Structure 1
Amino acid sequence: MIKMFDHDFSYYLMKPLHTSSTMNIVLYHGWGSSTSKYLEYASSLTRKGYTVIIPELVYHDTRNPFTNYFNQKNMETYFWKVIFQSIDECHQWVNRSNIIKENTVVAGVSMGGFIASGVYATTDLKGLVSINGSGSFFYSERLFRHASNRDPLTNKEETKLKMYDPMNHVHGDGEILLLHGEQDQIISIKAQEDYYAYLTDKGKKAQLKRYKDVEHEFTTCMQTDVLNWLEVQAAR
């Protein structure tokens, strides 16, 4: 594992000992989590022959982290800022690097699923994996605000959100895997279902896997399903 720096974009790079695949996986973690929490899963991916990139997110790890991520004010102020900046940083990094887009899958858990969806919607990559995330930004924010009894979006906020919302962008022709716990009370499956309906209406190659009695967690079953899906993609 090597920590890499490219302008403001820092990330951990993990390469397989014996390369059996040319596929890259860019893996994003969730709000208040850390790159370190996904190193074990990343290792399972490298054992399959994949190269894994785990970006450090702004306000996380070494990039001005908070002391309390789940303070309501912090979440309301910075959640979307982290998502938008992470999408922008990934675009800039992809354009600067020599990474092969058609061999790259972007994946994410929770907030990382939002980021991955935003990156994929505007970059011609091999595929997308979103675990307990959402590619329906505007609808997700409406659900968040309803749950916390907050005021509706202002016109300015709505305009900014829709700029990044995957539902307002043309997607590539890669494969898309959406996984979500049906009992998730943090990120409602309704938003993921809304995104899936959009994708299928546009004729995109997407599948949504629902997990009964699963809350906001990346279960062993989900991890296995992702690995199996990646194996199919690598063979194509």
Structure 2
Amino acid sequence: MVHNQGLPYHFFQGTNQKAPILVIYHGWAGSTAGYYELAAELKELGYTVVLPDIIHHDSRGILDNYFDGQIRQRLFWETVFQTVDEFEILLADLKVNRKDILVIGSSMGGFIASSIFAKNPEIQGLVNVNGSGAFVVAEEFFRSADGRRRMTSIERSMLEAYDPINYTYSGKPVLLMHGDNDHIVDSSGQYAYYAHCSSPHITFDIYNEVNHQFTDDMVEGLKSWLSKQFGSSGE
């Protein structure tokens, strides 16, 4: 693990200097350790991979119960927003430019990656797995599922400041993947973001009979997409 300026991350050095650095964000209640195997597979394909530790997870503090409704409602968006803001620190620590990066995220990590991608148009690409690129749409789903009241204007404004669909799409390659039976993060946010971008550079793959999981088929889909976009040779 690397610790610079108080922001810890895990670094896997690849051999393909022409390929983008893959920054991967895990989901709510997840862990960077859960992505070591994927990082190792991608490293074998030549990619350099970075797994940032996220606030309220791993070395940055463990919550008593991630699935307590009040805890999740209070800290989910705070975690997303802070991680998006910390991207500047990560860039400085890595000593790279935005154009050197491709962001990937699963579940909450998909929210994070999508917002970073939207706010930084130089980034080479985005992969969002079972997340959302439409924050207001996603929050409306969460509140409906929890039986909560509608957002206030202040709450909506806070989301809109980070909401990817409020930013002009950069035209860089995007891969969206979602299970068609996802009961945790509804696919409506992915569809809304897909419609917002409305580009041949967007690939949206739905996986049948899949709940909120990053399946082996999705991993293979990710690797295939990366190979088509950037190559996978260590040469």
TM-score category, normalised to shorter length: over 0.9
Could you tell me how far apart the structure 2 residues matched to 1:155 and 1:37 are? 37
Whether 1:51 aligns to 2:48 is yes
Q: Could you say which residue in structure 2 is the equivalent of 1:162?
A: 160
Could you tell me how far apart the structure 2 residues matched to 1:204 and 1:210 are? 17
Taking a change above 3 Å as real, the CA distance of residues 153 and 204 of structure 1, as seen in their structure-2 partners, is farther
1:204, distance to aligned residue in structure 2 (A): 6.5
Q: Could you say which residue in structure 2 is the equivalent of 1:67?
A: 64
Alignment match of 2:146 (pick from 131, 148, 172): 148
Whether 1:227 aligns to 2:219 is no
Structure 1 unpaired stretches of 5+: none
Deviation per residue, 1:42-89 (Å, 9 max, x gap): 100000000000000000001121021101111000000000000000
Whether 1:91 aligns to 2:79 is no
Secondary structure in 2 matching 1:27: strand
Q: Could you say which residue in structure 2 is the equivalent of 1:179?
A: 177
Greater relative contact order (Cα < 8 A, sep 6+): 2
Could you tell me how far apart the structure 1 residues matched to 2:49 and 2:204 are? 23
Could you tell me how far apart the structure 1 residues matched to 2:8 and 2:179 are? 30
Taking a change above 3 Å as real, the CA distance of residues 60 and 145 of structure 1, as seen in their structure-2 partners, is same
- Greater displacement, 86-95 / 38-47: 86-95
Counterparts of 1:102-141 in structure 2, within 5 Å, are: 102-123=99-120, 124-141=122-139
Q: Could you say which residue in structure 2 is the equivalent of 1:196?
A: 194
Give the alignment's TM-score, normalised by structure 1: 0.93
- Greater displacement, 206-215 / 96-105: 96-105
Could you tell me how far apart the structure 2 residues matched to 1:19 and 1:110 are? 28
Aligned residues: 231
Q: Is the Cα–Cα contact under 8 Å of residues 176 and 205 in structure 1 kept in the other structure?
A: yes
Could you tell me how far apart the structure 2 residues matched to 1:5 and 1:20 are? 23
Could you tell me how far apart the structure 2 residues matched to 1:103 and 1:88 are? 18
1:190, distance to aligned residue in structure 2 (A): 1.4
Deviation per residue, 1:179-207 (Å, 9 max, x gap): 0000000000111111111111xx46211
Secondary structure in 2 matching 1:40: helix
